[in-house]
Amino acid sequence: MVKKIGVLVVVLAVVAVGWWYWSPQSDRSLVMKALREMADAASKERNETTAAMWLKTRKADEYLADPCSFQLERTMFSGEFSPEEITSNLVRLRRVFNTCRLSFYDAEVTFPQPDRAIIDFTGNLQGELRNGEKVDEVREIRAELSKIKEQWRFCRFSIRQVIRK
């Protein structure tokens, strides 16, 4: 009897994992996954290897539309860029830091059209520059995504409001 119950539990566990793995994800969860992947690509750990940096930044390519527009405070970072240009700039930016962590919270996702998504969120960049200076910047950001070939891709980032401490 105990053996039958054990087999039943294992079978149920396998079915549950299989259902979770192969079930379709909601558009909201896919959009939030794209945001998490972009934040991870921008983050850097202390003594991160070049190979790890390359892999993280190349992952960002998968979530960027061509072109992708940036409307930021500094004009040198504003404009339309290809995914390759964005990842190159990301690599350059990451080299300025010993460590940096890009995180987000208070994310609100809306779908104005079935193939368009908007995420309004608070972004926080914390890190340490190579000269030892600490950075802790907070911005209200709007990210716009388009569904291209069944994948959500960022097509625009803009600063909604600058929050000063």
Instruction: Quick: pLDDT tens for 103-124.
Output: 999 999 999 999 999 999 999 9
In degrees rounded to 5, what are phi and psi of residue 61? Answer: -50, -35
Q: Which amino acid is at 47?
A: N
* pTM summary value: 0.78
Give residue limits of the domains in the chain. Answer: 26-163
For 26-163, the fitting CATH number among 3.40.1010.20, 3.30.930.10, 3.10.450.50, 3.30.390.10 is 3.10.450.50
* Amino acid 114: pLDDT: 93
pLDDT digits (tens, 9 = 90+) for 133-152: 999 999 999 999 999 998 99
Q: List Cα–Cα distances, 23 to 29, 41, 44, in angstroms.
A: 12, 26, 32
Count of H-run helices and E-run strands, the chain: 4, 6
- Residue 16 confidence class, pLDDT cut points 50, 70, 90: low
